[in-house]
Structure 1
Amino acid sequence: MSCEANPNALQPAITTASPGDTLLVSGTCTGPFTIGKDLTLSGVSGAVLDGKQAGSTVTVGSGAQVHLDHLTLTHGRAASFGGGVNNQGTLTLSRSTVTDNRAPSGPGGGVHNQGTLTVIGSTVRDNYSLGAGGGINNNGRLTVRDSSVFGNSGDNGGGIFNYLAGQTVTVIHSAVHHNTARVRDGGGIGNNLGEVTVSGSAVYGNTAPSGGGIWNGGTLKVTRSKVVGNAATGGPGSGGGIHRAGGTVTLTQSVVRGNTPENCAPLGSVQGCTG
């Protein structure tokens, strides 16, 4: 499925494909794209899905099981949420890059997840949202494995934001770094009332008014990980590394250090975190 001769060829191919098909994609394909059936898009030789600032670059419909592999998803501009990806189904994003997407009126600059999303061996970088989740806004079930989330900007949850009770984020062997929450909480990761697990990962170089690395109001488990070199700009007590606004924080074989103005706040609220 080549877009080199016809940049607009991919959406018709998606529409006419049978459920379960695999489309091999090459060239730069002009979107935005909507996928409402079980489908795999596999990129060849640097394939690009370009949203052309006309909506979410890719929208995955409820009930669809979709696999996007070896693709760059870029230039999405959502009217409400999910600049790069608006996932309402079950989506696996592997060996791909989500970059330079915007949600100027809502959450999820790179990705807005309302279903089940697995990000493997991929990069989510340099996306922007007016609301939460500059990189990824999660309203469902999210797993990030062997991936990087960096350079994203949102009002809160610059890298990743997890919203309500029952919604889960699992970050495994990944890096969440150099993201910015411009207005409120969680430069790297913001967890409102849900559950976040960080395992074998690094959260570093992120910035927010509160919770430079991680801001937690739900359940946070950090295992064999590092939260280092993050900054909160709200002054003493704003939690450069981890700010525990509520809920529970459990550190296991992890390091929280070199964050400003302190590693964890309120002081003494996170067992095993000092300074």
Structure 2
Amino acid sequence: MSKAFSDILMLRGPVKSQMFIEASRLLRRRWVPVAVAAGAVCVAGAAPATAAAAQVTAVDCSANPNALQPAITAASPGDTLQVKGTCIGPFTIGKNLTLSGIGQAVLDGNQAGSTVTVANGAQVHLNSLTITGGKAATFGGGINNQGTLTVNTSTVKDNTAPSGASGGIHNQGTLTVTASTVRDNYSLGAGGGIGNNGLLTVTGSDVFGNSGDNGGGIFNYLAGQTATVIGTAVHNNTARVTGGGGIGNNAGKVTVSGSAIYGNTAPAGGGIWNGGTLTVTGSSVLLNTATGGSASGGGIYKAGGTVTLNLSVVLGNTPHNCAPSGSIPACIG
């Protein structure tokens, strides 16, 4: 491959650093009530006490690898936990909470379930963390999200769902992945990297080296479920059984914008397999491979639904770019 062609495929990697909030904001203390002396009189009509301010708490797992879950349990809604070292889980978060890593902070599921489970109704931010070592019996080896979750400047890697779906992340709520990496995750079912059963947005991220039965990189499940991929590289993922090496869309809505889908492999739809509504704008689908024969759609396979290409390139896929022949307007070869 020529250097110029290689340059076309390259995307700028996610930003890996983040400025911390100034120290004056980090050192806010939780208000602690003081006991009232016996005989003290309360003034009628006095204003109620101010609610406790959100607290920032340091959690040093390099000193105690089991420190994080007790800190999560003890935290108040809205608090921030600043995490250091490798924390051994798995972890369950059932309240509004932010976990921010310092240095090379790691959340390790210890092969004992989903590394992080976000409960229904919880609003959670995971910042600058590596999430690894998860082994889920059903969904989401790395993360099982049932609430509202933002994953920012983080890495989700080396997680498995060996008897279920969504090796890296399973979303049943609202999930935003920004400037992050989802890599080298495995599932027996759909969604090697990310499986979406809700509302998903992936922006400025890198999804690669994942493997699932279908939807090796990203899989969107059912009608009414939406996945949006913006400025993201989805590459070198594998669907082993059915379709969608890079992205598989069963019946929902998938929008791909300003992204590169390349080097993925599947029996059908090496780059993208679509059964719902797919719109690809300002993107490239390059050098993907379908192994299912001459009508298997190396770049994009349309199993059903609609496929719309806007200002996009589908090129150099094997055995051809799109299938069935003539089913996708603006796709040649």
Q: Same fold (TM over 0.5)?
A: yes
**1:228 maps to which of 282, 286, 292:** 286
RMSD: 0.3
Question: Which residues in structure 2 correspond to 1:153-192 (within 5 Å)?
Answer: 153-192=211-250
Q: Tell me the CA shift for residue 79 of structure 1.
A: 1.1
Q: Tell me the CA shift for residue 81 of structure 1.
A: 1.1
Partner of 1:45: 103
Runs (4+) of structure 1 exceeding 2 A deviation are none
Give the secondary-structure state (helix, strand or coil) at the position aligned to 1:13. helix
Give the secondary-structure state (helix, strand or coil) at the position aligned to 1:82. coil
CA–CA distance in structure 2, aligned partners of residues 70 and 244 of structure 1 = 37
**1:143 maps to which of 187, 201, 210:** 201
CA–CA distance in structure 1, aligned partners of residues 74 and 323 of structure 2 = 54
**Number of aligned residue pairs:** 275
**2:180 maps to which of 90, 98, 122:** 122
Partner of 2:33: none
Partner of 1:2: 60
Which structure has greater strand proportion? 1
**2:307 maps to which of 249, 259, 262:** 249
Give the secondary-structure state (helix, strand or coil) at the position aligned to 1:14. helix
**Which one-letter code corresponds to 2:69 in the other structure?**
Q
Partner of 2:149: 91
Partner of 2:8: none
CA–CA distance in structure 1, aligned partners of residues 295 and 206 of structure 2 = 28
Question: Which residues in structure 2 correspond to 1:59-98 (within 5 Å)?
Answer: 59-98=117-156
Structure 2, unpaired ranges of 5+:
1-58
**1:133 maps to which of 180, 184, 191:** 191
CA deviation digits over 1:9-56, x for unaligned, max 9?
A: 000000000000000000000000000000000000010000000000
- TM-score w.r.t. length of structure 1: 1.00
Question: Is 2:162 the counterpart of 1:101?
Answer: no
Question: Is 2:262 the counterpart of 1:204?
Answer: yes
Structure 1, unpaired ranges of 5+:
none
**1:16 maps to which of 68, 74, 77:** 74
**Which one-letter code corresponds to 2:276 in the other structure?**
G
Q: Tell me the CA shift for residue 95 of structure 1.
A: 0.2
**Which one-letter code corresponds to 2:265 in the other structure?**
T
CA–CA distance in structure 1, aligned partners of residues 139 and 151 of structure 2 = 18
**Which one-letter code corresponds to 1:33 in the other structure?**
F
**Which one-letter code corresponds to 1:128 in the other structure?**
Y
Percentage of identical aligned residues: 76
Partner of 1:258: 316
CA–CA distance in structure 2, aligned partners of residues 265 and 232 of structure 1 = 10
Higher CA-based Rg: 2
Give the secondary-structure state (helix, strand or coil) at the position aligned to 2:297. coil
**Which one-letter code corresponds to 1:273 in the other structure?**
C
Partner of 1:215: 273
CA deviation digits over 1:68-111, x for unaligned, max 9?
A: 00000000000111000000000000000000000001110000
Q: Tell me the CA shift for residue 147 of structure 1.
A: 0.1
Give the secondary-structure state (helix, strand or coil) at the position aligned to 2:86. strand
- TM-score w.r.t. length of structure 2: 0.82
